[in-house]
Amino acid sequence: MVWLFTDNLKNKRVVVNEGELICMLYDRELYTSMYYYDNDMIKHLQSANGSVGGFDGNVYGNYFIVDFDSTASPEVVAEALMPMLKKLKHLGIPYYLFLSGKKGFHFYIHKKYVLYDVSYENKWHLLNRGFGVTLVDEHPELTPYWDNQMYDKVRMFRFPYSIHPSTGKRKQLVNYFDDDVFATSPINCLVYSNETPEDIVSSIFL
């Protein structure tokens, strides 16, 4: 299992195995591939002088990931997320929701909670996009905020707890509460999590 990482999207991407992941966790700009790879990626990088361009090998994942973004503010996205979050809470299905550090949210849900075609497990980018399509079909209020252009095989994505380069804010895990105390505003239903960042990263990547 290998992941692609870079500390700047202009720099060359490097391959990191799962044992090195926790060492990457500190406050800086950092990106990881949305998916992980086998030796197909290593062979490709060796033959292509370190470039990921043209990679056509196997792509795997443990989580379905969806990016919800807005040109306005995270508050409008938070309002659209409420029906989905209420449903997941009612069903008792765990997930991770991160404030992106700018104007949106990154949503992660483990594959064991999703029905999907296992014959496509080595084409996870296709499964991941299909999950996004299904999710916004079930929750059309999310459609304006879904980034449906992010599902190529070598897509780079902000690493949890990393710093956004334009705002200086962290990609921060939040928890959903639907208590009446928070009902004045949907964004107030999303409270910073006190879970240990190392535990979250281990859960997602290892």
Task: Give the pLDDT score at 179.
Answer: 63
pTM of the model: 0.92
Task: Give the pLDDT score at 6.
Answer: 84
Where the chain has pLDDT below 70, the residues are 9-12, 18-19, 21-27, 179-184
Spatial distance between the Cα atoms of 107 and 190, rounded to a whole number of angstroms? 13
Task: Give the pLDDT score at 73.
Answer: 84
Cα-Cα-Cα-Cα dihedral sign, residues 171, 175, 176, 182: negative
Task: Give the pLDDT score at 29.
Answer: 85
Task: Give the pLDDT score at 206.
Answer: 75
In tens, the pLDDT along 135-159 reads 999 999 999 999 999 899 999 998 9
Distances (CA, A) of 127 to 19, 32, 101, 142: 26, 19, 26, 19
Task: Give the pLDDT score at 186.
Answer: 84
**Are 202 and 63 a contacting pair, CB within 8 Å?**
no
